[in-house]
Amino acid sequence: MDAEETGGGGGLAAIVAARNEADRVGETVAALRAAFPAAAIWVADDASSDGTAEVAMTAGAQVVSRGRPHGKGANVTAAAEAALSAEPVPEVVLLCDGDLGASAARLASLVEAVERGECDLAVASFSRRVGGGFGIALGFAHWAIHSLCGAETTAPISGQRALRVEALRATLPFARGFGMEIGISVDAVRAGYRLREYEIDLEHRATGRTAAGFLHRAAQLRDFTRVYLSRMSGGRRPA
């Protein structure tokens, strides 16, 4: 894709994925506002029960929320569609997770990379690894992306991504649940868009080798398998 084929003329929209992040989403939104004063900031709240939506609105974000959990892919899809239907239509869309806190401001380098035309999809690779399990789900994600589209990735499931609006449209609706990021990478590369990763010093709420952590990674692996099977057949399932 040619770097000059940008659409819209509306600058940046940032979409924050959040579920029960009331203790951190306000700081995340504030950091994004400081880094991108003119951006439209949306929070995709997956039916949080801890007041996440209220905290996000108080911090100045527009919130897309539904009455029951739909999973990450579906909820961020709804927020992305809302952002694309607003005026003016953004040229670049930043996706990120609600637990980044103040480190969300460092995502400016992703947006700048897309704006400079270095790539169409910029993905953040965490410079410091905190938590994690035995690498089974992550290893599967690496393999699945390479198998489906040939891309080599170091951060296959990073939720911190900046996309040109055309690349975003090519990846909607996002894959179900935690399969969202794998689906974005595969669908964007298959559509001819350029993916590049950037190491950034970010902070987030990591899951360790606890019962809750292993349950989380089991859910991830389930969703990774679903998105792999759907893309392997050449089709796409709605989020």
According to the model, what pLDDT value does residue 69 have? Answer: 84
Cβ atoms of residues 149 and 223 within 8 Å: no
On the question of pLDDT at 233 being above 60, the answer is yes
Rounded average pLDDT over 133-141: 82
Burial of 51 (0-12, 13-18, 19+ CB in 10 A): middle
**Which has the higher per-residue pLDDT, 130 or 109?**
109
How far, in Å, CA of 61 to CA of 218, rounded? 32
- What does the block give as tokens for 183? 């689906």
Overall pTM > 0.75: yes
How far, in Å, CA of 142 to CA of 152, rounded? 7
pLDDT in tens, 56-73: 999 999 999 978 889 999
193-232 b/e (C-beta count within 10 Å ≥ 16 → b) = bbbebbebebbbeebeeeeeeeeebeebbebbebbbebbe
Backbone angles phi, psi at 148, to 5 degrees: -85, -30
Q: Does domain 12-232 have CATH number 3.40.462.40?
A: no
Rounded average pLDDT over 199-220: 75
> Percent of the chain at pLDDT above 90?
77
Q: Which residues pair with 40 in a beta bridge?
A: 13
According to the model, what pLDDT value does residue 180 have? Answer: 97
Domains of the chain by residue range: 12-232
Rounded average pLDDT over 32-53: 96
Residue 80: how many other CB atoms lie within 10 Å: 25
Position 238 confidence tier, pLDDT thresholds 50, 70, 90: very low
